[in-house]
Amino acid sequence: MKLFIPTRAFFEPAALEYPLGKKIYEELVAKDIPIKITTSHNRVLGIPDTTP
């Protein structure tokens, strides 16, 4: 099975207050995966309208 590696990630600020959220964030940063911090979990802006 091929390992899934995201092309981008979105985080809520509160997610970084949890150990797992911090761990995932740090792993993605180490892999140079673009990360955007969202202002609301109800509305995520900046997602491109095309898919691979």
Domain boundaries, the chain: 7-41
H or E element that contains 35? strand 35-37
Evaluate whether 34 touches 9 at the Cβ level (below 8 Å): yes
For residue 36, give the 3-state DSSP assignment: strand
- pLDDT tens digit string along 1-52? 899 999 999 999 999 999 999 999 999 999 999 999 988 777 777 777 666 5
Tell me how far apart the alpha carbons of residues 42 and 24 are, in angstroms, rounded to a whole number.
21
What single-letter amino acid sits at 51?
T
Q: Rounded to two decimals, what is the model's pTM?
A: 0.77
Q: What is the pLDDT of residues 14-24, one digit of tens each?
A: 999 999 999 99
Q: Which residues lie closer than 8 Å to 7 by C-beta, 6 or more apart?
A: 33, 34, 52
